[in-house]
Structures are given as structure tokens and as C-alpha cells.
Structure 1
Amino acid sequence: MNPTPLKVGLVGWGAIGRVVGTALAAGDVPGATLACVVDNRPLGGAVPAAQVPFEDAVDRCDLIVEAAGQGVVRAWGERVLASGTDLLIASTGALTDEDLAKRLLAAGPGRVYFTGGAVGGLDLLQAVRAFGPLDEVRLTTTKLPATLEQAWMDEALLHRLRTATGPIEVLSGTARDIPVKFPRSTNVAASVALAVGDLDAVQVRVVADPAAVRTRHVIEASGPHGAYRFEAAHTPDADNPATSRVVPYAVLRSLGAIAGRPGQIL
């Protein structure tokens, strides 16, 4: 446990940020405390800490938690790390930009961390990677059709989504391509690619299902050293159905590990 609590700056007061910030302010993460909140909306008394500009947060905090989307990672990631402040990223989809990912991993003296979000098994896949590359890695994500609608979709695809009576494949490709198309819905694809070390090795299917009361992620991987399958089915967040309710708790778990909470599975 850190003798002096980590001063945490939280970027984003949405579905993820509200849960994370409230828990930090209540002292639910031993070794960490909420120092400030960054959001581009005036929040007034809705937050349990000072609302400050990003520049001020970087200056006053030991760790910045990004809970506001991929754009924040692109605009601020390197600057946070170059200042000496650590950075915990929830929007791992930003790492489909390989150049950005390389710059973040090379930046410092601040350290960059990533949260696993809505899926498990990433630690095992990262360990298996030490044996050598996997032969096949597949991710299938199934969500409610309305949560998958995007501005780039043509009328025919939107009609298919809105009139679907059963599961339909919306798009397939690699972890390099799919998170760019669904920036709020497929951070999982980028997280799997981060674990196995290759964006192009992860084949991704996005499925819309009007009966998908829970968001489902199925990861299947195999190689000469073994075969692995992980499945998670989460209740969507009521305020933001594009994300799962578990995601802020995954962020809190990551914060606990960074702050040195005993008993964490590393």
C-alpha cells in the first residue's frame, strides 16, 4: 500500500466516470483519493471534487484516469505521460492507431496502464504470448441493434438493424479495423489485440441481436501450446447501453492494483 494516497484525476463524468469518481471520493479504493474531475460540461455541484481544466489536473495529480473516449487518449495521452503523471486508459480502442500506441508505450517518465474492461482472460493470453504467436484469435461481440448504429452506415444496413428479428452480422474484420468503426462499442477488440500483441491477428465479428438483453463477448484462441475460450455476458449500462455496467468496476480494480491494494490477482 502506498504510504501517501495517489492523487487521482478523473477525465469524464459519464456512465463510467460517475461510478469511479463516487467510489474514489467515498474511500473505496485504499491508497487512492479523488483529487479533481475534468469534463467539458459545467457539472456544478454534481461532482465530489473540484472540476478543473485538463492542464491543472495533470499538474496536481499522480494518476489520470481516462473515462471519456478515444479522443482524449489521442489528444492528451503523450502530454500526460511526458509530464511525469501516470495514465490509466479505459478507451483502449484508441490503440488501433499503431503509431499512437508505440508513442504512448515509449513516452515517459509517466507510466501508461490499460484496463481490461468488459472481458477476462487477457492476462492469460498475454502470458501465452510468451510461448510465441497464436495461430488463431477470434472475438465475437453481440449487442442490441440500437447500440451499434453509426453515422457511416447506409440506409440499407440501418434498415436491417432496425428490422432484425434475430441475430445478424453487422461487420467483420480485424481488430485494426473494427474499433474505428464502432468507437464506443468495441474497445474489447483492441484490448484482445493488446494482449496478443498483434492487431491483425484478431478476427472480429460484430453481431446485432434484438434479443441481446446482455452484451456478449466470446474470445476464442488457439496455438501449438493450447486452446482457450472466454465468454462474458454483461448487463448494459442503463444510461449508456453502448457500455456494460461492469466497466467502471474493472477500472476500479485496476486502480486498486496500481495503488497497491493487497490481494489483487496480477
Structure 2
Amino acid sequence: MGIVGWGAIGRVVGTALAAGVVPGAELTRVTDNRSRPDAPVPQSAIAEALEVCDLIVEAAGHAFVREWGAQVLASGTDLLVASTGALTDDALAAELHATGPGRVYFTGGAVGGLDLLQAVRGLGDLTEVRLTTSKLPGTLEQPWMDAELLERLRTCEEPVEVMCGTARDVPARFPRSTNVAASVALAVGNPDKVEVRVIADPGATLTRHVVEAAGPHGHYRFEVNHAPDPANPATSQVVPHAVLRGIGALTGRKGQIL
């Protein structure tokens, strides 16, 4: 298999695979837009990686999924997506699902309870789904923000709501820090049904995600609080381990389910 992106996620995943942490999974290529001398296997362009890999693990961001996702699948190589926000684009998701013979998978990343939300869909539609994500202000700054909003983020002493929208809108505005919203949307089956609030909290020591869902068949609430990755505070430290769990499922390790 190959990994695209040798950053906070890819480096942890690749190092673990090279050490044999996931039985049956062999890392053979690393693809990145910069030279990575610490990579434990040869670094190559994605076209070369597709010639020798049966699975590509994406840890490079939405742009790779948009640009290369269909080509990966058309080559017969499977694709495991960590940047799930890309999959809230209906046209892209439809293209990927229609392309083969490779198959596309995604990981839940930094949130739990997705298997239950998927199961609940069998009972009927949920009437309410809300996600509230709270992070340090500095991890939420984006190029599209105006001077007034940036100043609020940089000077706030209390939590500030940065954006409220749907799980279709928010990942597009925060492509590096709201993949949880997309994961919840994929579990629910409708990104427009998931209301997402993004909170900048200057006092946050952990990244918090609270999922609340309700319907005629029950009420559900999940809360997770993660330590941010020291190398990239916009990403929770647990994310690469969720990716490794997904790889374990695809290689048939007992008891692992995506």
C-alpha cells in the first residue's frame, strides 16, 4: 500500500505500518509534494505508486481526493480517505462511487458513535442532528476570514462562535479542521441535515466534539475530548490511529470494522 501525505497523520501511520503494527499491511510507497528523507520506503509520484499498490491511504487533504480520487479507483487501487470533508461534495462523491474497479472507504477520524448513527438510519430518518466543535482559535484561522473576524479570534477571552451551517458548508470553509462534520454527515446519510457549530475557545486544552441526534426512535449524544497533535494542533492526536484501525479492517484483522 501507499500513503499520500507525509505530515502529522501520514508520518504516524507510515511509521507504524513500517514497524509491522498492522499484520498483513505492507507499506511500499510514500507520495508527498516535498522530499521526505525520513520516509521508511521509497518516495514516488502517485502514478508510479498506483502501479505497485493495492491500497492508497489519503492523508494529504481534500485537494488530492478531488484531483486524484477517481484516477486511483479507475486504476483498480482501493482508496482510504482521511479527509472526509471532500466527500460532502455530491458530484465528487457520486463520481467516486461510480468509478472502479477500485473501492473507496473512509475513516471516522476523531469522532465516535458513527456505527450507531448508521444503524439508526435503518429505523428511519433522524429529525435533528447537531455537531458542536470547539478548538483553539489559532487552529481555525482561514484565508477567507475578514479582518474583523480574525481580530475577534486573536483577542477573544471567551468562547466565540465562528460559523454555524450545515455539514456541507462547514468542511468547505475549514478543510483542515472539520472532517468530523463530514464523517457525521456520511453516517447520517445527508450533510444538509447536520447542523454544525464551530466554536473558538481560547481556554481549550482539548479539542471537543459533541454530537446530538434525535428521532422518533431515540435520542443520542456523544462527546469526545481529544488532545491535539503537537505537530499540527488542527488535527486530533487520535486521527492517525483511527486510520490504522481502518487499514486493519481492510486487511481482515479480526474484530475491526470501519
TM-score, normalised via structure 1 length: 0.96
8 Å contact 2:137–2:153 — kept in the other structure?
yes
Partner of 1:101: 93
Is the counterpart of residue 50 in structure 1 residue 42 in structure 2?
A: yes
Question: What letter corresponds to residue 250 of structure 1 in structure 2?
Answer: A
- 1: CA distance, partners of 2:256 / 2:150: 43
Q: What letter is aligned with 2:231?
A: D
Kindly indicate whether residue 60 of structure 2 is the aligned counterpart of residue 68 of structure 1: yes
The corresponding residue for 1:243 is 235
2:79 maps to what in 1?
Answer: 87
Q: What is the correspondence of 1:20-39 to structure 2 with a 5 Å cutoff?
A: 20-39=13-32
Q: Which runs of 5+ in 2 are unaligned?
A: none
Number of aligned residues:
258
Give the drift of 1:260.
0.5
Structure 1 Cα separation of the partners of residues 188 and 97 of structure 2: 16
Other-structure match for 2:248: 256
- Superposition deviation, residue 263 in structure 1: 2.5
Candidates 196, 199, 224, aligned match of 2:216: 224
SS of the counterpart of 1:169? strand
| Structure 1 residue aligned with 2:11 | 18
Could you tell me how far apart the structure 1 residues matched to 2:117 and 2:234 are? 25
Trace 1:100-139 onto structure 2 (pairs within 5 A): 100-139=92-131
Match of 2:148 among 137, 152, 156: 156
Unaligned runs of 5+ in 1: 1-7
Deviation at 1:255, TM superposition (A): 0.3
The answer on whether the counterparts of 2:84 and 2:182 sit within 8 Å (CA) in structure 1 is yes
Secondary structure, aligned partner of 1:41:
coil
Inter-partner Cα distance in structure 2 for 1:183 and 1:9: 22
- Choose which of 152, 174, 185 in structure 2 pairs with 1:182: 174
Q: Among all aligned residue pairs of Structure 1 and Structure 2, give the percentage whose two residues are the same amino acid.
A: 70
Deviation string, structure 1 residues 158-216 (Cα, Å, up to 9, x no partner): 11111111111011000110111101010111111100110110000000001111000
Report if the CA contact (8 A) 2:79-2:103 is conserved: yes
**Whole-angstrom distance in 2 between the partners of 1:194 and 1:263:** 22
Aligned partners of 1:160 and 1:43: how far apart in 2? Answer: 37
2:184 counterpart of 1:192: yes
The 2-side partners of 1:261 and 1:112 are apart by: 19
CA displacement 1:226-264 (0-9 Å, x = unmatched): 111111100001110010000000000000010001122
| Distance (whole Å) between structure 2 residues aligned to residue 263 and residue 155 of structure 1 | 50
CA-to-partner distance for each residue in 1:97-146, whole Å, 9 max, x for gaps? 11001111121111111000000001110111111110000000000000
Runs of 4+ deviating beyond 6 Å = none
Aligned counterparts of 2:195 and 2:171: Cα–Cα separation in 1: 12
Cα root mean square deviation, aligned: 0.8
Paired amino acid for 1:243: T
Give secondary structure in 2 for the equivalent of 1:51.
coil
Amino acid at match of 2:129: V
In 2, distance between residues paired with 1:209 and 1:193? 24
Report if aligned partners of 2:114, 2:187 keep a CA contact under 8 Å in 1: yes
- AA in 2 matched with 1:14: G
Give yes or no for contact 2:246–2:256 (8 Å, CA) kept in 1. no
Q: AA paired with 2:11? A: R
Letter in 2 for 1:220: E
Distance 1:110 1:182 in 2: 28
CA–CA separation in structure 2 for the residues paired with 1:127 and 1:79: 31
